[in-house]
């Protein structure tokens, strides 16, 4: 229950920040263009808090925190006083209206640059992209990837973290080959060429690296207990931090994975566990608690966390830059994320990426909660990624979105006259139906992951 409220609160905070940034872009340019703004709302539905500025604009925090809007004076829908006719949106030039429509997505891109720049100024901690294992008969296997290979370049992109590797690999969708530059365990530079012709991300929740057969290196997990949850089966059995698991139901334990599998097979069953506590072997009775696992099966769990070995020297590095370099990196990363977002939309259309990978509010909420838990840098990275996605999504040429408005204005420029109100109204209805269908589909994907 705590996780639910934590994720919900993080989602509301993250979305409110990004919506405020997006709508402020529209608001600021509208004001500069001489358009009267009637309301600036964060959220939809009934306003919970309202206040006004000296120009008469109403600011509102509304009940449904799933978006926001800026309502501008428009003679097509409002009764306009004579003295306000030149303050309506529809009285402005088509270029001014295009600027107002584009300002929201542009604000999202600028915010992403700022968030990433702050990250690099504070310092970003990365794990070097060293391969831990390679799946037999996978794309990476046939390319000759080896455990211990440190990936330094993919295609034309230099990479220094697993996030950068992921993005570079995703950019390879639709290509015939990917050249991967590595430094092997002997310190030799090598090029591993991966044949990615026909490769697709067509399975739900399968990461790009997993899809091509690469598992990142992680320090081994020991069978020593590092944490015991209060009130758990382990706590009731008097297990203690520092205990090393030796046997479970007379089965010798050689790895943490083996131990977890044995416990999962014994939900609510009285069992026996033997541990090494200091120099003494202790045998205890224990009954694993139960919970629902995959495919609705019941599995056992104890409520313990194992100790992980330390990272080898040099595997974790902190990258920190000056203000100018941080801003430049922010611009470069935002551009790369924007291009990748457009590429992913294209891959969704062509079937290179399965629509099962689309996430909705629930997925974003979980991501927001996790990023907040990891600290400021992770949260800023999450905000930058979602801000870019929000900007790209709003540029799609769908009525109801900023891209739809820009499409109408472009047609107006070409035809020398506005698109008829009847056509626009039909477009808005179709756009609303498409967005509703997309939202329902994303929610279905979210729920199916729970």
Element (H, E) at 382: helix 376-394
User: Residue 341 and residue 446: Cα distance in Å, rounded?
Assistant: 20
Q: Are 200 and 354 in contact (CB under 8 A)?
A: yes
Of 129, 61, 120, 31, nearest to 330 (Cα)?
120
Catalytic residue among 23, 317, 343, 421: 23
Residue 287 makes CB contacts below 8 A (sequence gap 6+) with 233, 236, 237, 268, 269, 270, 271
Largest CA distance in the chain: 91
User: Residue 178 and residue 167: Cα distance in Å, rounded?
Assistant: 13
Q: Which residues pair with 69 in a beta bridge?
A: 41
Tell me if residue 235 falls in helix, strand or coil.
Answer: helix
Whether 175 is a known active-site residue: answer: no
Residue 157 makes CB contacts below 8 A (sequence gap 6+) with 164, 167, 168, 171
CB neighbour burial string for 379-391, b if at least 16 within 10 angstroms, e if fewer: bbbbbbbbbbbbb
Q: Which residues pair with 300 in a beta bridge?
A: 290
Helices and strands in the chain: count of H runs, count of E runs:
12, 18
User: Residue 36 and residue 56: Cα distance in Å, rounded?
Assistant: 9
Q: Active-site residue numbers?
A: 23
């Amino acid at each position: 229950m705590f996780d639910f409220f934590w994720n919900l609160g993080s989602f509301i905070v993250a979305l409110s920040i990004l919506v405020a940034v997006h709508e402020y872009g529209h608001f600021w340019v509208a004001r500069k263009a001489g358009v009267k703004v009637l309301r600036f709302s964060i959220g939809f539905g009934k306003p919970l808090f309202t206040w006004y500025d000296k120009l008469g604009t109403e600011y509102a925090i509304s009940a449904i925190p799933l978006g926001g809007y800026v309502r501008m004076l428009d003679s097509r829908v409002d009764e306009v006083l004579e003295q306000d006719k030149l303050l309506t949106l529809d009285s402005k030039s088509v270029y001014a209206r295009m600027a107002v429509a584009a300002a929201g997505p542009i604000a999202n891109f600028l915010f992403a640059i700022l968030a990433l720049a702050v990250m690099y100024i504070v310092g970003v901690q990365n794990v070097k992209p060293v391969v831990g294992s390679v799946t037999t008969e996978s794309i990476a296997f046939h390319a000759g990837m080896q455990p211990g290979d440190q990936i330094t370049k993919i295609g034309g992109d230099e990479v220094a973290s697993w996030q950068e590797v992921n993005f570079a690999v995703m950019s390879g969708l639709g290509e015939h080959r990917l050249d991967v530059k590595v430094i092997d365990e002997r310190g030799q530079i090598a090029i591993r060429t991966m044949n990615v012709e026909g490769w697709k991300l067509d399975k739900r929740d399968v990461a790009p690296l997993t899809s091509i057969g690469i598992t990142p290196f992680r320090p081994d997990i020991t069978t020593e207990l590092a944490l015991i949850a209060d009130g758990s089966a382990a706590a009731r059995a008097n297990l203690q931090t520092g205990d090393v698991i030796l046997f479970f139901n007379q089965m010798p334990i050689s790895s943490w994975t083996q131990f977890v599998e044995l416990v999962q097979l014994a939900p609510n069953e009285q069992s026996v566990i033997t541990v090494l506590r200091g120099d003494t072997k202790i045998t205890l009775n224990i009954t694993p608690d139960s919970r629902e696992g995959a495919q609705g099966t019941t599995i056992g769990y104890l409520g313990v966390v194992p100790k992980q070995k330390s990272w080898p020297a040099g595997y974790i590095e902190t990258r920190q830059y000056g203000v100018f370099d941080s801003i430049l990196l922010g611009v470069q990363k935002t551009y790369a994320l924007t291009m990748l977002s457009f590429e992913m939309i294209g891959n969704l259309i062509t079937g290179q990426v399965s629509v099962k990978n689309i996430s909705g509010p629930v997925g974003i909420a979980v991501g927001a909660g996790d990023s907040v838990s990891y600290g400021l840098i992770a949260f800023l990275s999450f905000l930058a990624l979602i801000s870019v996605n929000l900007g790209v999504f709003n540029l799609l040429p769908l009525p109801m979105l900023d891209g739809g408005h820009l499409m109408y204005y472009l047609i107006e420029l070409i035809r020398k006259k506005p698109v008829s109100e009847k056509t626009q109204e039909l477009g808005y209805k179709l756009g609303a139906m498409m967005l509703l269908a997309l939202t329902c589909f994303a929610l279905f994907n979210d729920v199916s992951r729970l």
